[in-house]
Structure 1
Amino acid sequence: MKNTYLGNDDIRKLTYTGLMTAIVLLATLVIKIPVSFTNGYIHLGDSMVFLAAILLGWKYGAFAAGVGSALADVIGGYAHWAVPTLIIKALMAIIIGICASEKYRKKMYIILTIIFAGGFAVFNLILKNILTNKIILDSSNITSNLLTELELNSTEELINLSSRVETTLFVITILIPIIILVLSLLISKLNKIKFKPAYTFGFVISGTFMVFCYYIASYILTGNYIVPIFSIPLNMIQFIVGLVIAQLIVMGLNKSKLSIPLQCF
């Protein structure tokens, strides 16, 4: 007869996973800034999503990230986002966990780099086309409903906002990966600890994946493919702030030589 009792290792896994689920939940709820036109919000929870994946590995990290974030949506009054959040945050943790794993690293670096570079470039071209052709060049298609959803007073304001978003997307696409890499190397050098590019790589890939997925989810929920574009810069800021916080915590754990052997999960 098979022994159904939990061993010490199983209890340890469940304990850490439950703890990180609660931490993801709290980090998401503590500071949140509503984004009215998408009926969503930005928050600091991504930092703990990143950390959960690093500490727990992709399987248990996916549970902590997905369930913790989804519960935050339900408790915080955004239950309509719970299912997309559960899926997106879990997939973010899987990406990070796989990038941080020695077992999959070399092969996944190549695959994810191609997907990231090609996919995000295409995504940005599509967004640029929408902003340029549907709004900036053809303002006659702008409806009063669109202005209301974005809380703008005139077509001119919308065109100006569209131009700023288009510029922001371009700058983010070019500069953010460079800034993140330089910042990570600088922090590593100043603190005299080993820099692990796998973590930063995983953070960047999963963060941009999140931005893309939330755009699609917003389109499905709102039925509008233009309005969600204007939330992308905010989502980018959210994941960048989360990345920096998670990177600092991970580097701090490395510096303190704290041993948390959970990647074997």
Structure 2
Amino acid sequence: MVNNTRKYVLTGLMTALVLCLTYFIKVPVPYTSGYIHLGDSMIYLSVMILGPYYGAFASGVGSMLADLMGGYVHYAIPTLVIKSLMALCMGFILNSRSKKGALASVGASMVVWAVFCAGAILNLKSSIRASGTGKILEAVLEPGADAEAIAGMESKLSNLPLYLILGIAASILVLAVAAWFLSRKSGSDFFGVKAIIGMTAAGMCMVMGYFIVESFMYGPIPATFSIPPNLLQFFGGVLLAGILAPAIRKAGIARQS
């Protein structure tokens, strides 16, 4: 009974922290009427503290409430699903009992992410060939944009495939380094190698999930422009979670099974 009460209290606390860091610290993304934030850091920590299921509740509900309170009602249900899946994905990796299982998760994540990014690049190039740069600029720019804004967007559009390729390379590098360390140590620490692998997989889930949702909402081109900001959100969340992890460990908040 005491353990259950402790878990419920921690779940409520992590739900509130996910809500606060999502709602109060956010940067709008103009192309999809969405925003990036630091709430993902609390999602990662909630999974490490609570496990996959209670962590999924805190992540999904806290993020959904932030969308409802912030005026992003159209994102509320997709956010509930995507953020819950992020926590489940990370939690299952953390729960893997063997190095072989964790390494299999690394390989699967790399393949899924590479296929997704390759598909996004091919889709972007196909859309440019089919529609032309002018129509694409109309889709992502506000009406009446000046020449400077148009020139800047043309530059971003031409460099977007490069950004996506760099995103693939960075993600594969993170996973490869994590896999190498995993072969040398168990990764049983609170913020160990398994946690890093899990956060990477969760970040991939987030980027792909919002790309799919925004493709239906706004079209594939604006959704493609949201990938780099979402990657930035992922890395920012990992960084903040790493900074806060020692304080969480010192507070004696052990992961609940």
- Decide: shared fold, TM above 0.5: yes
RMSD: 2.7
Say yes or no: does 1:116 pair with 2:122: no
Q: For each residue in 1:8-29, what CA deviation from the matched residue of structure 2 results, as whole angstroms up to 9, or x when unmatched?
A: 2221111110111001000101
For 1:126, the aligned partner's letter is G
1:26 aligned partner: 20
Structure 1 pair 79–104 and aligned structure 2 pair: CA distance change class (3 A): farther
Q: 1:62 to 1:194 in 2, by over 3 A?
A: closer
| Partner AA of 2:229 in structure 1 | L
Residues 1:210 and 2:203 are matched in the alignment: no
Is the 1:177–1:204 Cα contact (8 Å) retained in structure 2?
no
Deviation at 1:164, TM superposition (A): 1.7
| Counterpart position of 1:72 | 66
Cα distance between partner residues in 2 of 1:120 and 1:219? 17
**Alignment gaps of 5+ in structure 1:** 1-6, 186-192
CA gap of 1:263–1:13, structure 2 versus 1, over 3 A, is closer
After superposition, what is the alpha-carbon deviation per residue over 1:227-265, rounded to whole angstroms, capped at 9, x for unaligned?
Answer: 1100110000001000111122224444x3x4323331x
* Distance in 2, Cα, partners of 1:29 & 1:143: 31
Q: Does 1:196 align with 2:196?
A: no
CA–CA separation in structure 2 for the residues paired with 1:144 and 1:174: 27
1:34 is matched by which residue type in structure 2?
P
Which structure 2 residues correspond to residues 1-265 of structure 1 after superposition, within 5 A?
Answer: 7-103=1-97, 106-110=100-104, 112-135=105-128, 139=132, 142=135, 145-148=138-141, 157-178=152-173, 196-222=192-218, 224-254=219-249, 256=250, 258-264=251-257
2:47 touches 2:90 (CA, 8 Å); kept in 1? yes
State the AA in 1 paired with 2:118: L
Task: Tell me which amino acid in the other structure corresponds to 1:172.
Answer: G
Aligned length: 245
Deviation per CA, 1:15-69, whole angstroms, max 9, x where unpaired?
1101110010001012111112211111110000111111000010000000000
Q: Equivalent residue of 2:31, what SS?
A: helix
Hey, what's the Cα distance between the residues in 2 that align with 1:59 and 1:195?
19
SS in 2 for 1:59: helix
Which whole-Å CA distance do the structure 2 matches of 1:162 and 1:141 have between them?
11
**Alignment partner of 1:42: what SS?**
strand
Task: Answer whether contact 1:200 1:247 (CA < 8 A) is retained.
Answer: no
Question: How far off is 1:131 after superposition?
Answer: 2.4
Between the aligned partners of 1:178 and 1:151, the Cα distance in structure 2 is 41
Aligned residue for 2:255, secondary structure, equals coil
**1:169 Cα deviation from its structure 2 partner:** 1.1
CA distance in 1, matches of 2:69, 2:210: 19
Against the structure 1 CA distance between its residues 140 and 148, is the aligned structure 2 distance closer, same or farther, given a 3 Å change threshold? closer
CA distance in 2, matches of 1:134, 1:153: 23
- Please say which structure displays the higher CA radius of gyration: 1
Give the structure-1-normalised TM-score.
0.82
Structure 2: how far apart are the matches of 1:169 and 1:227?
Answer: 14
Q: Go from structure 1 to structure 2 and tell me whether the alpha carbon gap of 1:119 and 1:176 turns closer, same or farther (over 3 Å shift).
A: closer
Residues 21, 68 of structure 1: 8 Å contact kept: yes
Deviation of 1:226 after TM superposition, in Å, equals 1.4
Q: Aligned with 2:35: secondary structure? A: strand
Q: Distance in 2 between matches of 1:150 and 1:249?
A: 43
Contact 2:93 2:198 in 1 (8 A): yes
Aligned mates of 2:6, 2:117 — CA distance in 1: 43
Change (3 A) 1:150 1:84: farther
Amino acid aligned to 1:43: H
1:189 aligns with none
TM-score by length of 2: 0.84
Q: Unpaired segments of 5 or more residues in structure 2?
A: 182-188
- How far 1:137 sits from its partner (Å)? 8.2
Conserved? CA contact 1:146–1:227, under 8 Å: yes
